[in-house]
Amino acid sequence: MRSHPSPNFGDRRGRRVELVVLHYTAMASAPEAAARLCDPVAEVSAHYLIDRDGTVFSLVDEAMRAWHAGAGAWAGEGDVNSRSIGIELQNTGAEPFNEPQMAALEALLAGVLKRHALPPQAVIAHSDMAPERKGDPGARFDWRRLAVQGLSVWPDPAPPGDFSADLRTFGYADASLETLLAAFRLRFRPWARGPADDTDRALAAGLCALVVDLRLGKA
């Protein structure tokens, strides 16, 4: 862990940490990304930046509000910055996330979830909470790997139901079917194409059931 303080932060406006939002930098290098995340003119930041070699840069204290999420909503509420931890992964968006970087992310996430008493469904993609604007961490990110370690969730198929309603139960905001399908597939079926099908609906139903069980303490 290396300290690399950013001036771009504020107070949490009375909110506690409820989410962890994962991003990719879409930049060529970690030093380039760090420079932007620490540039007061850019007015963007994150709590952590993880380089390809696994080096973790601490930019903003977890007690403070970093400026990483932008406009969007999750679980019926906006102002995601005030209630989240933001983690940037050095990646252009067109490359795999390598082993040192994923291992560093897993160690960091385990600590964040423990410190803030967060369940695995609290770890979401930038594209989840801003599906009309963002696509990170993208199709190459291994969400299933995180889920196996209890650091995120992955659904088992269930009897297909109402796709949009099931995704809203998970946390997605109201949006068109096309927008929800694109965001869902980016995370859970990144290589699928065409209209929503029974596989999408079965996975969405399984995700809904999983999240409901987690909320009830059954999983």
Q: Which residues are catalytic?
A: 88
91-96 contact pairs (CB < 8 A, 24+): 91/24, 91/25, 91/26, 91/52, 91/137, 91/138, 91/140, 92/24, 92/25, 92/26, 92/27, 92/28, 93/24, 93/26, 93/135, 93/136, 93/138, 93/140, 94/140, 95/140, 96/140
Tell me the helices (H) and strands (E) count for the chain, helix number first: 7, 8
Other beta carbons within 10 Å of 81 = 22
Report whether 51 contacts 118 (CB < 8 A). Answer: no
- Angle between helices 163-170 and 198-216 in degrees, nearest 10: 30
**Cis amide bond preceding 159, omega within 30:** no
